[in-house]
Amino acid sequence: MLASVAAASVLAFVAAACSSSAGYGVPPTSTTTGPVAGRPLVIVRDLDIDSLDPQRSRCDTCAIFLSAVYETLVGLGVDGHTLEPRLATSWSVDAGLTTFTFHLDPAATFADGSPVEAGDVAWSWQRLADLDGPAASLVTGLRDVAAPDVGTVVATFDGPNSAFPAIVTSPYLSVVNRDVAEAGGASEAWFGASSAGSGPYVLADHVPGRVLRLLRNERYWGPAAPFPSVVLDQEPDADGRRVRLAYGEADIAMQLSEAQASDLEGDDLEVDGVEVPRTEDGSQAGQADRARRDLVVRRVASDDLVYLALDPSAPGSGTELTPDVRRAMALAIDYEGMVDDLTDGTGHVQRSPVPDGMLGGATVAGPRRDVAEARRLLAASGHASGFTIEATYPELASGGIDLATLMDRLERDLAAVGITLEVTPVDGATWAAQVDGPGVPLTVGYATPDHPDPSQYVRRFGLVDGSTWGRRVGGGTPVVDPVQQGLLEAALAQPDGATRDATYGELAEAMAGDGYIVALFSPETVLAYRSDLTGVEASVCCELELGRIGLGP
């Protein structure tokens, strides 16, 4: 999920009408001439699926699935920030930025052939709010969703919400066929075996932890998807994904590191620590050589965020994590060295918990390392000899970044100022339970965006109403900084992109200053795929939009 956000583009409230039969299907830049008989699109990745229910899920693979099987009213262009029509042909907002009106494309139909109607949209969005699932925060403040007629949707918020048109691009605001879902019980189990969307693909089957299969929606209202099926195959090991792509066993390999990308481009392919040289014969190595010559490896900047999080309310901190102590810990970090170690120098140091590519992110002063100042602050806080702190992290490798390696790097940096980490790796579920329960004094994480507006990072990391980390650092009692809350409300009340950029910049500066979340860096996303594919682009909302992927000549 990546892209930079142009200051004015997010608030393009009224979109130009699109062709009534366009859908989004395959973009005009694709050279696909028709469906491909028999050939599936095979993608290898770590399937982090928590649910296939659009209103109960929130994960990277979920975003890929939802954007292929369901659709949103508004989408993102291939540039990653321009809003474009999908199920809605146009939309508008009132002067107070509280009421948003969307006009649906009358040609849009669900996979069963029934029309997409305003009632389906209202049911889907209200269900997202009512279920209070992991993505419910996207509709914070939603007062009402009305369907005055079958083609018009009116969403009303308690206060100004200039971010909403961008939020609508999130796959978690996908539209579900209400009649079909309710007839099936609309349970999480039902969504795990069935689908009720309007997208270019439908769910075929899902074997948790193994494979997710999609079939072409033969009744899709837009251009037919070129592939008869899509296979998202579980491959938890990134090196395994690299090798499977290199040997022609997959069309796309995701979540690769820079080192793995470089290996795909190199003269020799390394398998299990042994270099396999290029060769033209018919051996296994020769097959790999031919497959590798048909590969494309690209890097694109991302709005993903690798971060350090400090929780003063958690047991095991070893000291009071005061603002000066948190500041000292941030000053101890070698940001550039970390980027070199973990991304082979291709990542980008981030200025604040609002990524640099989003509104406000690039206006903040960058972080710096100052070991002497860090030691001075610690001494003034009564910790001239340092202290020991418990550090727990999830055993994950997201976006090509191994969090274990990241923690090793942090251990070395903080040891330089006398801070010792007692490191405990845990699985993802255990980590989530701990940070949401008693808390973790020090942890690291990897955050990806759901849409192109920075408000999501504020609601996740800022000290504002409903903030995830605001609740965590308060030991379950939400901590709200009136300055940050006021700046967020001001940003959401502003229609002008340049003004919003400046306000979000102030907000990002305040978030960086409180020191609970220390932004570290943003890795580039590696796109590795067969060269006959077109439309393979990283998406800020959806990871990878399968409806855009076609075949070249």
pLDDT at 2: 34
Contacts of 39 (CB under 8 A, 6+ apart): 227, 228
At 426 the three-state DSSP class reads: strand
Please check the confidence at residue 160 and state whether its pLDDT lies above 50.
Answer: yes
Judge whether 209 and 192 are in contact, CB under 8 Å: no
Lowest average pLDDT, out of 25-39, 257-271, 374-388, 398-412, goes to: 25-39
Judge whether 413 and 367 are in contact, CB under 8 Å: no
C-alpha distances (whole Å) from 431 to each of 403, 416, 421, 518 are 13, 27, 17, 19
Q: Average pLDDT, stretch 486-491?
A: 98
Judge whether 88 and 121 are in contact, CB under 8 Å: no
Q: Which residue is it, tokens 């000549």? A: 553
Confidence label for 32 from pLDDT (cuts 50, 70 and 90)? very low
Lowest average pLDDT, out of 235-239, 288-292, 310-314, 391-395, goes to: 288-292
d(CA 45, CA 32) in angstroms, rounded, equals: 25
d(CA 385, CA 388) in angstroms, rounded, equals: 10
Judge whether 104 and 151 are in contact, CB under 8 Å: yes
Q: Is the dihedral of CA 86, 92, 96, 99 positive or negative?
A: negative
CA neighbor of 201 nearest in space, from 68, 34, 62: 68
Tens-place pLDDT, residues 526-548: 999 999 999 999 999 999 999 99
Contacts of 135 (CB under 8 A, 6+ apart): 55, 57, 58, 128, 170, 172, 450
Q: List, in sequence order, every beta strand (DSSP E) within 311-385.
A: 348-349
Who wins on pLDDT, 416 or 317?
Answer: 416
Residue 84's DSSP bridge partners are 75
pLDDT at 277: 57
d(CA 516, CA 490) in angstroms, rounded, equals: 23
CA 270 remoteness from chain centre = 30
Residue 283 burial class via C-beta count within 10 angstroms: exposed 0-12, middle 13-18, buried 19 and up: exposed
Contacts of 333 (CB under 8 A, 6+ apart): 308, 367, 369, 410, 413, 414, 518, 520
At 383 the three-state DSSP class reads: coil
Judge whether 52 and 191 are in contact, CB under 8 Å: yes
pLDDT at 37: 64
d(CA 243, CA 288) in angstroms, rounded, equals: 9
Q: Is the dihedral of CA 399, 61, 439, 466 positive or negative?
A: positive
CA neighbor of 504 nearest in space, from 542, 461, 541: 461
Contacts 24+ apart (CB under 8 A), 455-458: 455/163, 455/167, 455/488, 455/491, 455/492, 456/137, 456/138, 456/167, 457/305, 457/353, 457/354, 457/355, 457/358, 458/354, 458/484, 458/488, 458/504, 458/507, 458/511
Tens-place pLDDT, residues 361-416: 999 998 999 999 999 999 999 999 999 999 999 998 888 899 999 999 999 999 99
CA neighbor of 330 nearest in space, from 366, 289, 381: 366
136 DSSP 8-state letter: G
DSSP 105-125: -TT-B-TTSPBP-HHHHHHHH
What torsion, rounded to 10 degrees, do the Cα atoms 44, 50, 53, 58 define? Answer: -90
Q: Which residue is it, tokens 């701990």? A: 434
Confidence label for 549 from pLDDT (cuts 50, 70 and 90)? very high
Residue 286 burial class via C-beta count within 10 angstroms: exposed 0-12, middle 13-18, buried 19 and up: middle
Reading the block at residue 458, the tokens are 């504020």
DSSP 532-543: TEE---EETTTE
Confidence label for 476 from pLDDT (cuts 50, 70 and 90)? confident
Q: Average pLDDT, stretch 2-21?
A: 35
d(CA 519, CA 515) in angstroms, rounded, equals: 9
Which residue stretches of 175-255 are H helix?
A: 178-183, 188-193, 238-246
Tens-place pLDDT, residues 198-250: 999 999 999 999 999 999 999 999 999 999 999 999 999 999 999 999 999 99
Confidence label for 180 from pLDDT (cuts 50, 70 and 90)? very high
pLDDT at 6: 33
Taking the model in full, what pTM does it have?
0.89
d(CA 70, CA 55) in angstroms, rounded, equals: 12
Confidence label for 61 from pLDDT (cuts 50, 70 and 90)? very high
Please check the confidence at residue 91 and state whether its pLDDT lies above 50.
Answer: yes
Ramachandran bin of 481, using left for φ above 0, alpha for ψ from -120 to 50, beta for the remaining angles: beta
Who wins on pLDDT, 189 or 2?
Answer: 189
pLDDT at 16: 34
Please check the confidence at residue 28 and state whether its pLDDT lies above 70.
Answer: no
Contacts of 156 (CB under 8 A, 6+ apart): 98, 99, 100, 142, 143, 144, 145, 146
d(CA 454, CA 12) in angstroms, rounded, equals: 16
Q: Which helix (H) or strand (E) holds 403?
A: helix 403-415
pLDDT at 388: 96
